[in-house]
Structure 1
Amino acid sequence: MSASTGARPRPHPLAATARVVMLALVAVLTLITTRDPQQLWWIGLLAVAGIPAVAAREHRVLGPLGRYAEVVVIGLAASQVAAAATVGGGWGASAILPYLAVPLTVAALAHRSQEGAGLLAVAAVTLLGSAALTGSGPDRQLVQPWYLAVCAQWLVLAALGLYAAGTLQRVLQARGEGPPQPYAEATRLLTQLRSVARQLPGATLDPGGISEHLVEEVRTVVRADRAAVLSASGGGRLVVLAQAGVDRVDWETTLDADSAIADAWATQQPQTANRSQARSHPGGDVSALVVPLVAGVRTVGLLALEADVTGAYPAAAVGRVTGVTRPAALRLEAALLFDEVRSLATNEERQRLAREIHDGVAQELVMVGYGIDNALATVHDDAKETEESLRTLRAEVTRVITELRLSLFELRSEVDRHGGLAAAIAEYARTVGASAGLRVHLSLDESTARLPAATEAELLRIAQEAVTNARKHAGAANLWVTCEVDPPYAQIEVSDDGQGIADQRPDGRYGLAIMAERAERIRGRLEISPRHPSGTTVAVVLGTSPRRDNVRGSTAGEGE
């Protein structure tokens, strides 16, 4: 047995001192009110009753038993001391009742709120019971109103002391006297999150997959020619996590607009309307239903449904839909929180790596370059071969430093909440193109609606990898970057006029594998094809765009 488990708990000095002081106080008050030293035997009995509470205060049985014994002795002694008082009648109970604060305060400071309430209840019962059983004759005056008033006064004071002690304990913990509650809570939550992440498959915590399943499930219980799941993205806007229907809908994604979507978000109640919730709709008969996805007290998303008939969503239909959305809201909240935690952890790790590279390897390589420059300055004219070797080494160091700086830029690049995905991709392509001598051609088409933050981050990394591959391995002179975002559809395309993918080095193929993994993570498609007359085209496509498919289909028909 270890020392920590085998050692007996020592009496707490504060608890023992408080009892000694209070025993001395009530002894003096008892002598003053009764002028009878024989009444001090109650004080002795009270001291004996408190021994277990002091000597074994942490014991599961002896500690509480000692405190209950103290309360019982106080209740019995109060009526006897009051009966023996020479002045004040029943008010003589005040001589011993102050001791009641000791066991109650100790229980509160030990986080035993239930025990404290039990002690208070036992004290009240004992006080009244002992008064009723004190005897007959003049002693019956103990049950008169003044005695009851004294008992009630001290019981109320004891209850207030119990509450104050508990509050003080919580304040001390918040200020660091106790366990660090924020960190303890964070540790508990992160431990649970780790357990969930290990037990559940990845698709279970995918907001897009959960949203698609919800749309499909709802369309089996009510008619919905168009449906979508929207969630908050910050800045008072919504993002489309999933949608389905006969055609694409440009959903209203602002929360300050006059729409059923904004009303459902604000009120957390289902909203019906006789007009479409799209920002551009041809009109006609439309029934719209917007159901908030509420987890606890927090709105995590909205389910928007539309049917091209009037009166499609009566109260019964709304009830069927909410029966499906209630359990789905909690699943979606868990997926969104997990996605956010994963993004924060990933971004933090990228920033940490960038700092380490900048402060470590990059600085050391710069010093190596300076050393080579100094060596070149001291080389004699007859050492041409040495000078040439040093110049070659200096050029290689310069190249490595440039690579590191571009890697740092890539690690620190993020999608700005206000700038958007297209702006982030364009900035990266321009910076890399300028450093590598590439002519960059940009084609950007981004709607005001936004993709989920995690999806934008993955698309940015795919674009960065494609640009890096073209710069490192293609030997290209031109780079074409196309970014088309129309949520939930997106397509990023990077083309070059280099030597083609067949002749790329193994590390370039490793980059392609990384891009494929990222695309699969956001349920996208990675397409790699040769570019004519030379070069390679790498594209990632997310979702579908019926509008564009129709345009391509009509163009193909005209060509035939």
Structure 2
Amino acid sequence: MPDSSTPVRPPTQPLAAAARVVLLALVAVLTLFVTRDAGQLWWIALLGLAGLPAVLAPQHRVLGPLSRCAEVVVLGLAASQVAAVSTLGGSVDALGAGASAVLPYLAVPVTVTALRRRFREGGALLAVTAATLLLSAALTEVDGGRQLGQPGYLTVCAQWLIMAGLGLYTAGTLHRVMRVRGEGKPQPYAEATRLLTQLRTVARQLPGATLDPGGISEHLLEELRAVARADRAAVLSASGGGRLVVLAQVGVDRVDWETTLDADSAIADAWASQQPQTAARSQARSHSGGDVSALIVPLVAGVRTVGLVVLEADAAHAYPPPVMSRVTALTRPAALRLEAALLFDEVRSLATNEERQRLAREIHDGVAQELVMVGYGIDNALATVHDDAEETAESLRTLRQEVTRVITELRLSLFELRSEVDRHGGLAAAIAEYARTVGASGGLRVHLSLDESTARLPAATEAELLRIAQEAVTNARKHAGASNLWVTCEVDPPYAQIEVSDDGHGIPDQRPDGRYGLAIMAERAERIRGRLEVRPRQPTGTTVAVVLGSSPRRDRVRGSVAAAEGE
């Protein structure tokens, strides 16, 4: 092993060496053709010798440049001497042909410097070549005169030098263009790392809830109601597929906002034009009518529309230009805050989903396959047990049943990890599919009650509600000892309620795993500004519910039903 202090010879470059050999051969043939003198080939050998260090040590800081400089010096001398020999017995016009026989080799050192992005060295080589050609021509006599005084020779030398200079300039220009493009478009992973690092730094500096889209939207509505009348108001954002989701809303009553961007409405016009829109009719599909003034202000961050603010007042001409100016003055900075929160939500959801899929793949390809092989091994052992070893056979059968149970649990866990809310199917469909699959595996009769409006909740909120429902269903299957499972899903954004009930034996206080599962569900509910409710079910069992937002309309209906039952 060589000592660390011993210089390591840089690797040679086969392409550069091949180019030198090819051009040396070409120059040798041209020299013979022009001069008819094999003795002039010693200049070609000298060129090869001068370029040898540059081939053997191309990366060396001293040998490489010196070797290329030696090449152009020998080249200048060779061009002058070959041109002089070519005129012997001929005309002076043969000077240009003699120089043209050798000067094509100038492309080798100049191209090497361009490929190595040493453009200053390339310019210096051209200057040394020009100086050598001029000096050699000044010292060489041709037919009683100096070679320097022959226009044909100077013209040919100038042409080759100009062509080499143009090639070097073009290479430098292309390099600068590519460097600018590279700086403007960094590699995807490098750019992602830079942006995520900035996001982490900014997130640590922000107050607690400022990256929550719902909290930002609620705060914005409070500010807007202080400067403009709003009997009803909402903040909407895009969810993909030409639909909008309600991030927050306030008012005397909960209403069903228009959430389709392809409809003929002021909401769609404001989104497309990125300009505030006013209307004399409500943008809520459930509004009963009457005099209404509506103001729809797009939340534009840069060139992208990230959301809309809808304000409505039960009066005519409630939003004159001065009021509109005060509203837009508040929405401009809020757009950037909302965009940051939505992007943070999206990045977090993508990272979470990718990690869940990765874990599912690893479990499926690792532990799950190994457990299956253990089960096969137990089956093989059972087949070889003799009839007189009944106790051993019974132990193996019990072990096989336990392995089968663990494999079933593992498959259900994989199904839970891979379950997501489909963009087109909705939250209710995802919860129903999970309840049916898990209930069937546990021998439970599943009763579903699904009530989902056409409007959608934010994707991050839907994901958290699905995980809460999954945990509640799993707890009922594994620990409750129930026969029936009731799953109720009501989604009417921004209101939602998911309720899971069973007829089992409840949650014993001494069971730590059940309490841990409830704590996880409570944390998820708090993350989306919801609340978790756990209560006994009559006559037996447990009810777990998560409630998001409020619905005055539903509260009034339930209040009237309770009053009727009390009578």
TM-score relative to the length of structure 1: 0.74
1:485 corresponds to 2:517: no
Could you list the runs of 5+ residues in structure 2 that have no partner in the other structure?
A: 9-58, 85-94, 96-105, 131-148
Structure 1 counterpart SS, 2:288? coil
| Structure 2 counterpart of 1:375 | 381
1:253 corresponds to 2:318: no
Do the aligned residues in 2 keep the contact of 1:9 with 1:58 (CA within 8 Å)?
no
Give, in whole Å, the separation in 1 of the partners of 2:513 and 2:560: 41
1:505 corresponds to 2:516: no
| Structure 2 counterpart of 1:365 | 371
Give, in whole Å, the separation in 2 of the partners of 1:94 and 1:314: 75
| Structure 1 counterpart of 2:283 | 277
The alignment of Structure 1 onto Structure 2 pairs a total of residues equal to 476
Deviation at 1:288, TM superposition (A): 0.5
Structure 1 residues 382 and 231: alpha-carbon distance in aligned structure 2, compared to 1, 3 A threshold: same
Do the aligned residues in 2 keep the contact of 1:473 with 1:505 (CA within 8 Å)?
no
Could you list the runs of 5+ residues in structure 1 that have no partner in the other structure?
A: 37-46, 75-83, 112-165
| Structure 2 counterpart of 1:108 | 173
Q: What is the root-mean-square deviation in Å for CA atoms of aligned residues? A: 4.4
Give, in whole Å, the separation in 1 of the partners of 2:62 and 2:269: 62
Structure 2 counterpart SS, 1:184? helix
Structure 1 residues 289 and 85: alpha-carbon distance in aligned structure 2, compared to 1, 3 A threshold: farther
Give, in whole Å, the separation in 1 of the partners of 2:406 and 2:150: 96
Deviation at 1:556, TM superposition (A): 3.7
Structure 1 counterpart SS, 2:439? helix
Query: Among residues 517, 520, 540, which one is paired with 2:523 in the alignment?
Result: 517
1:452 corresponds to 2:458: yes
| Structure 2 counterpart of 1:127 | none
Give, in whole Å, the separation in 2 of the partners of 1:393 and 1:370: 12
1:223 corresponds to 2:233: no
2:369 partner amino acid: Q
Do the aligned residues in 2 keep the contact of 1:491 with 1:540 (CA within 8 Å)?
yes
Do the aligned residues in 2 keep the contact of 1:369 with 1:397 (CA within 8 Å)?
yes
Deviation at 1:260, TM superposition (A): 0.4
Structure 2 counterpart SS, 1:210? helix
Structure 2 counterpart SS, 1:204? coil
Do the aligned residues in 2 keep the contact of 1:224 with 1:307 (CA within 8 Å)?
yes
Query: Among residues 535, 539, 542, which one is paired with 1:536 in the alignment?
Result: 542
Percent of paired sites with the same residue = 79
| Structure 1 counterpart of 2:301 | 295
Alignment of 1:94-493 (within 5 A): 101=166, 104-105=169-170, 107-108=172-173, 111=176, 166=177, 181-493=187-499
Deviation at 1:20, TM superposition (A): 5.2
Give, in whole Å, the separation in 2 of the partners of 1:521 and 1:10: 64
**Cα offsets for 1:80-120 (capped at 9, x unmatched):** xxxx9979xxxx99897667647754653553xxxxxxxxx
**Cα offsets for 1:246-284 (capped at 9, x unmatched):** 111210000000000000111111111110001122111
2:440 partner amino acid: A
| Structure 2 counterpart of 1:118 | none
Give, in whole Å, the separation in 1 of the partners of 2:62 and 2:191: 30
**Cα offsets for 1:212-232 (capped at 9, x unmatched):** 111111111111111111111
Give, in whole Å, the separation in 1 of the partners of 2:220 and 2:124: 57
Give, in whole Å, the separation in 1 of the partners of 2:61 and 2:273: 56
Structure number, greater radius of gyration: 2
2:288 partner amino acid: P
Deviation at 1:529, TM superposition (A): 0.8
Structure 1 residues 58 and 202: alpha-carbon distance in aligned structure 2, compared to 1, 3 A threshold: farther
Structure 1 residues 259 and 180: alpha-carbon distance in aligned structure 2, compared to 1, 3 A threshold: closer
**Cα offsets for 1:409-429 (capped at 9, x unmatched):** 111111111111111111111
Do the aligned residues in 2 keep the contact of 1:70 with 1:103 (CA within 8 Å)?
no
Deviation at 1:408, TM superposition (A): 0.8
Do the aligned residues in 1 keep the contact of 2:117 with 2:172 (CA within 8 Å)?
no
1:225 partner amino acid: D
Structure 1 counterpart SS, 2:227? coil
Give, in whole Å, the separation in 1 of the partners of 2:63 and 2:276: 61
Structure 1 counterpart SS, 2:278? strand
**Greater mean alpha carbon deviation, residues 464-473 or residues 199-208:** 199-208
Do the aligned residues in 2 keep the contact of 1:291 with 1:303 (CA within 8 Å)?
yes
Deviation at 1:541, TM superposition (A): 0.3
**Cα offsets for 1:412-464 (capped at 9, x unmatched):** 11111111111111111111111111111111111111111111111000000
**Cα offsets for 1:170-201 (capped at 9, x unmatched):** 78x69xxx997233222222222233334435
Give, in whole Å, the separation in 1 of the partners of 2:64 and 2:190: 26
Structure 1 counterpart SS, 2:534? strand
Structure 1 residues 286 and 385: alpha-carbon distance in aligned structure 2, compared to 1, 3 A threshold: same
Give, in whole Å, the separation in 2 of the partners of 1:296 and 1:465: 41
Give, in whole Å, the separation in 2 of the partners of 1:259 and 1:179: 39
Give, in whole Å, the separation in 2 of the partners of 1:456 and 1:550: 26
Structure 1 residues 64 and 329: alpha-carbon distance in aligned structure 2, compared to 1, 3 A threshold: farther
